[in-house]
Structure 1
């Protein structure tokens, strides 16, 4: 497909050394050939060339003082990718791995994910190569205040509404919002994922994990399977992983693994979720501490992982939920999951499969929920938080959860119907990419050459 080759080649010239971004673009473009053939207007109006270039890229330095009085400097980013459907919407990630390529891949994915929700939100992403781990609360506060001192001039409740992501939880959002309010002299719904006492929404913390499991439930039902009784592997132990596990238990399934950057826990009886929450949300400890309470569980440190793979995918399970980070699942991991009879993979993280792993999944008959659809519950609930802020209302937990469930059901039905329409029933990757693309592309055409 020459347009894919030409697009990637052009990006390599204009955006050099951004491999994650190229990977995300290629994954989407490979699915779009049917709609581009059927509707020449998208080619004629250069929609692809316009989509892969952000409307605005903001990079800035973030100077801050550590507890020893030493000046530290990090790099901050905000990519405002596409506003055809509404204000830019996407999280802020604080992690040492953050760079221009990762932020761009996340922002590009966010365009289509947000479009699939059916809600009026565009796509963006941001963050910094700052690691909150090992920092004091005072250092995190000083960093967040410095970061927002630049970012505040680029965001607004109808312009760009960031949220949290890896390394940015309620604590960080609180410091960011406090500094925004101070600088803008306005109490706006300019960040989502806020604390409940100051404009936050019920279910926002749980939404990505809950939505991921709702999606898995619909996907299994479509294959005449039940989620209840299924044994599940989950990677990660952050927000997405924790609330994926919580909803799995609620719907009668059993998560048996979780992981962090140091190693993997396998607990055949089922992960002790209360303990994981205590270790990760309150004590900020490594999962190795899990063994102090459950000596019967198995812990594998990262140094003992299998070559070319992750220990979390090496157990016999019915469903796999990658909920940690990008490119965490290798081709060898997929081969192990298939050999062990895994029925489906549902992505809680963004682009967790390497290119080789993705190819292996596409060549198999395993059920596969791509992240831009299956983990869209977080951003959907962010928009629900925006709606509550705008109307100065507070919906109940049950009201928000029911709306989230309906959004995930609509996403599943929409992408399934699109896949069938283009002759690829159950190919949810193609369905998600085409459905999201069409919604954004049509809006871009109607708004003219901007």
Structure 2
């Protein structure tokens, strides 16, 4: 530890794509001697406890249900109000956990922006916003990008109107000064830590010193539980992550596509499709609910995935090019960045077939230019610093931000 022992409150959003990058940072801070109180839902309590942090429950629990299969403009309009309800509902429980005195800093997921900023302002403590995906400034607007794929949100939508009224009421009754209320809305002085390298961020060079790009927090250690095929066949890893994995038909397409080809296919199904649902698999295809991703990617030639940011960062950390099948607006934005940088090929969801998947994987596997670009990005991903740099950034924020919140 490079400074005094501090007490940090962590408010991660309890979904895999948000929680998993945070846990190594919590573990690193605890290892440096800091006290960390981390809020979680029941699904993640044991994982948080394993970091050495003190676990506290979100009460009422924040939803960790996967998003709807199809996200349109109406769903995008309703989502902020749902999140506002959840964010304000947990405030009393979080405050009561610190009745003996506030923590030294609030570290919160960008999804819980109101919760984190409001608590930090009330306690007059510095805060750090965590983002598992792209962040926005005047040169890049992530919300606007989402709407390109989901449809434009009508500002007069009843849910948007109610959201604005409820947010105004919440901030207005917060007991804060007028300038603090404005900061709650806009976060202009907020410090943001993003779990991707600057080189992958849209308009990355335009973000100032209030933004730190630390990359993924996986450390590349090889997990046990999987061995490459003795045949020496190239390995294709297939995963739809944790939010869109209820697609047995997709996994069947993958098995059929490579049944008679010299590939060894590893299907990581997740918790909503059982291997038995796929029927009899070819001898060169193996299916599991879970595989150690790092161990498989260390031997993979191509990664076929849904273009979630966690999957992308793991693949780039390992230096593996991708074929991506985006489902949700955020995944479409991710896929756009991958193709801009020449790191992946996209197969649209409504174009998925055994033939389309087979052809895309073959093109990616044979593209030497793409492999070289992926190797270059791997250097940026690994140089970003991961969990150690994230902990350094948080400690530096504690040293320099104390006067800003007074």
Same fold (TM over 0.5): no
TM-score (ref. length: structure 1): 0.29
